Amino acid sequence: MLRTVFVGLLSFTIVSSLLLLIGYLFEIKLFMFSFYEETSTGFEAGGSVIPFILGLICSYFIGNYYQKRQHSN
Model confidence over 5-55: pLDDT tens digits? 899 999 999 999 999 999 999 988 888 877 666 667 677 667 788 999 999
| Of 68, 69, 30, residue with least CA distance to 50 | 30
Q: Which residue range(s) make up the domain with 61?
A: 2-72
pLDDT at 28: 87
pLDDT at 1: 75
Number of independent structural domains in the chain? 1
pTM: 0.78
